[in-house]
Amino acid sequence: MSDSTARPLLWIIVPCYNEEQVLPITAPLFLEKIHALAGAGLISEKSRVCFVNDGSRDRTWELICQFAREDEHYIGISQSRNRGHQNAVLAGLMEARDKCDITISIDCDGQDDINAMDEMVQQYLDGCEVVYGVRSRRDTDTFFKRFTAEGFYHLMNLLGADIVFNHADYRLISARVLESFADYKEVNIFLRGLIPLVGYKSGTVYYARSERLAGESHYPLKKMLALAFDGITSLSNKPIRLITGLGAVFSIVSFIGVIWAFIQAMTGHTVAGWASTVSIVCLMGGIQLICLGVIGEYIGKIYMETKARPRYIISERTWQPYERKYRG
């Protein structure tokens, strides 16, 4: 895969969804970084920037095709429909695993520091198979977003999920790791939790995240909460165990309450009151609904896993635009 000088061949994987405003700004930056790394002797000149169109409804795919016609370092694949950010990244990684030596996944909005790639590649050359890009600070986030994001990472680690704190999806992965990761067949994927499970020697690069260069974020609070819940239920079964423990605690409390009520009735100290009864019924009913919802979420994921539907479908490639669909 790499050239005669044994420099690694790099694919930069860039998921895109309705990014026509920001792509003309960031695409040249990715190309410039390819040339800079190659010029420094860190990667092969044959390295590529691979855009993954995630079923965009604007001109994103047209722009990707235009970039590919203008420069051979640009390539692109398009999914048959929108599958979500995680599946778009997965599609790019699986497309690249037998065509390059290393991949670096990064969002196309320009928020992740592109210059961190230099240290990522250097750590790969020093023996690391995975290098995680980790935010050094969250100054650009609102208090609410910073509090909820950091709380999510703490909660995930508390529940037993091995994820890197303040790491999203900016990372270097070697082809060797991708070959091992291809054996992970989960339909419900949460990459920042699955990649550490593969193992191999890893490193960390810290960087400061900036504001989006153009366009609007496609990850509102609703999607962020959905991703967080998917991550928790995909990587840990501790919520089920917590429900079991909660049920045991309330069963003991209820049993004590029954004994107390029986004693009060036998001694003639019972007092009629609807407030306490209603409060207890509402509390128990709410807890039961929450528990059923969590259990239902796990059952739903089992249902989707048993179907084993394809996680992505590539409908077009810039180098083979009329090729039949490929599944993964």
The CA-based angle 168-212-108, given to 5 degrees, is 60
* pTM of the shown model: 0.69
CATH number (3.40.50.970, 3.50.50.60, 3.90.550.10, 3.30.365.10) of 10-218+310-327 reads 3.90.550.10
Q: What is the DSSP letter of 17?
A: S
- Cβ atoms < 10 Å from Cβ of 99: 14
Query: Residue 107 and residue 15: Cα distance in Å, rounded?
Result: 6
- Where exactly are the structural domains of the chain? 10-218+310-327, 238-307
Per-residue pLDDT for the chain (328 aa), expressed as one digit of tens each? 655 457 899 999 999 988 888 899 898 999 999 999 988 889 888 889 999 998 888 888 989 998 988 888 999 988 888 888 888 888 889 888 888 899 999 988 878 888 889 989 999 998 899 999 888 766 666 666 666 666 666 666 666 666 766 777 888 999 899 988 888 887 777 777 788 888 888 888 888 876 655 556 555 556 566 666 665 666 666 666 676 666 666 666 666 666 666 666 666 655 555 456 655 666 666 667 667 767 776 776 676 667 666 777 788 888 764 444 444 5
Pairing of strands 10-16, 48-53: parallel
CB 53 within 8 Å of CB 78: yes
Separation CA 182–CA 188 (nearest Å): 14
